[in-house]
């Protein structure tokens, strides 16, 4: 599989399916990952955290309330117990077999990324101890240069770079004072929290690029937004609903 940085100039725009293709299936399910892969998105983003038995599973929230309408937390249940649950929220619930709607293991997510040659764009959640087993599984599969490890918590990014010099790291909702640190890490990117593109300061993208760091903003959910992001010079674009064929002239 081609490494992440080599793919960026080949795919313009480089689209990241945020939590999979959530327009067609509930977020962070095998169904949403499969839809994103089949529709040609270049990377598939997911959230990875520990279940109560120490296994790695794909879930944005620790709480089960929002997606499953259930009491309890992912971190207090085993992967086997979690597999008994199916979402009560999200699109396409009636279209998919139950097996495709359960909380996936990290391995099941990576299986789909590998099968369709999509970049795994992994946001680690919870304690930064989750970073080591995520990296170990990526190395075992030979995906360290293919995948991206992202996090809101800068300590996750620091831990990832301490453990692995190859993987591309991406700091979510970064701060200007962290730019030099990310640049020194090498093979790094960031996003800033500017949901309104009109609020992006002039010269911001150029300042980040001058440090050798990649940049994206959230989220390219219309053809017009994607076009503006490309014009700004963003390197990759998270999206909740765009697919490549939507952007053909």
What is 4-50+104-247's CATH number?
3.20.20.190
Q: What is the pLDDT of residues 152-209, one digit of tens each?
A: 999 999 999 999 999 999 999 999 999 999 999 999 999 999 989 999 999 999 999 9
Give pLDDT, residue 175.
95
Give pLDDT, residue 127.
95
Neighbour tally for 176: CB within 10 Å:
12
Pairing of strands 188-191, 15-17: unpaired
Percent of the chain with pLDDT over 70: 98
Report residue 32 as tokens: 């949403």
- Distance CA(249)–CA(246), nearest Å, equals 9
45 Cβ contact partners less than 8 Å away, ≥ 6 residues apart: 16, 17, 18, 19, 20, 121, 122, 123, 150, 238
Question: Exposed, middle or buried by CB within 10 Å (0-12, 13-18, 19+), for 228?
Answer: middle
Question: Exposed, middle or buried by CB within 10 Å (0-12, 13-18, 19+), for 177?
Answer: exposed
Q: What is the DSSP string of 10-46?
A: GSSS-EEETTS-TTTS-TTSHHHHHHHHHTT-SEEEE
Q: What is the pLDDT of residues 112-146, one digit of tens each?
A: 999 999 999 999 999 999 999 999 999 999 999 99
Comparison of pLDDT for 52 and 218, the residue scoring more: 52
Cβ-contact 125, 49 below 8 angstroms: yes
Q: What is the pTM of this model?
A: 0.96
Q: What is the pLDDT of residues 34-59, one digit of tens each?
A: 999 999 999 999 999 999 999 999 99
Give pLDDT, residue 10.
83
For tokens 């369709």, the residue is 116
Please state the domain extents for the chain: 4-50+104-247
Residue 249 has pLDDT above 60, yes or no: no
Q: What is the mean pLDDT of the chain?
A: 95
- Distance CA(120)–CA(106), nearest Å, equals 10
Nearest to 28, CA basis, from 76, 90, 71, 80: 90
């Amino acid at each position: 599989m081609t490494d992440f940085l080599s793919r960026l100039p080949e795919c313009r725009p480089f689209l990241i399916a945020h939590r999979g293709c959530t327009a067609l299936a509930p977020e962070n399910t095998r169904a949403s990952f499969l839809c994103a892969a089949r529709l040609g998105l270049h990377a598939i983003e997911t959230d990875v955290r520990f279940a109560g038995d120490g296994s790695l599973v794909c879930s944005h929230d620790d709480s089960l309330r929002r997606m499953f309408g259930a009491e309890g937390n992912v971190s207090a249940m085993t992967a086997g117990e979690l597999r008994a649950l199916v979402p009560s929220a999200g699109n396409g619930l009636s279209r998919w077999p139950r097996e495709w709607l359960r909380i996936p293991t990290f391995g099941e997510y990576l299986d789909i990324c590998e099968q369709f040659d999509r970049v795994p764009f992994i946001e680690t959640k919870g304690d930064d101890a989750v970073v080591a087993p995520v990296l170990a599984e990526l190395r075992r599969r030979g995906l360290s240069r293919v995948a991206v490890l992202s996090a809101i918590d800068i300590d996750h990014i620091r831990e990832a770079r301490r453990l692995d010099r190859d993987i591309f790291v991406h700091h979510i909702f970064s701060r200007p004072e962290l730019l030099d640190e990310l640049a020194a890490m090498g093979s790094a990117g960031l996003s800033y929290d500017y949901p309104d593109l009109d609020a992006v300061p002039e010269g911001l993208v150029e300042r980040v690029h001058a440090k050798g760091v990649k940049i994206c903003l959230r989220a390219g959910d219309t053809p017009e937004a994607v076009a503006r992001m490309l014009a700004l010079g963003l390197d990759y674009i998270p999206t909740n609903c765009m697919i490549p064929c939507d952007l053909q002239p």
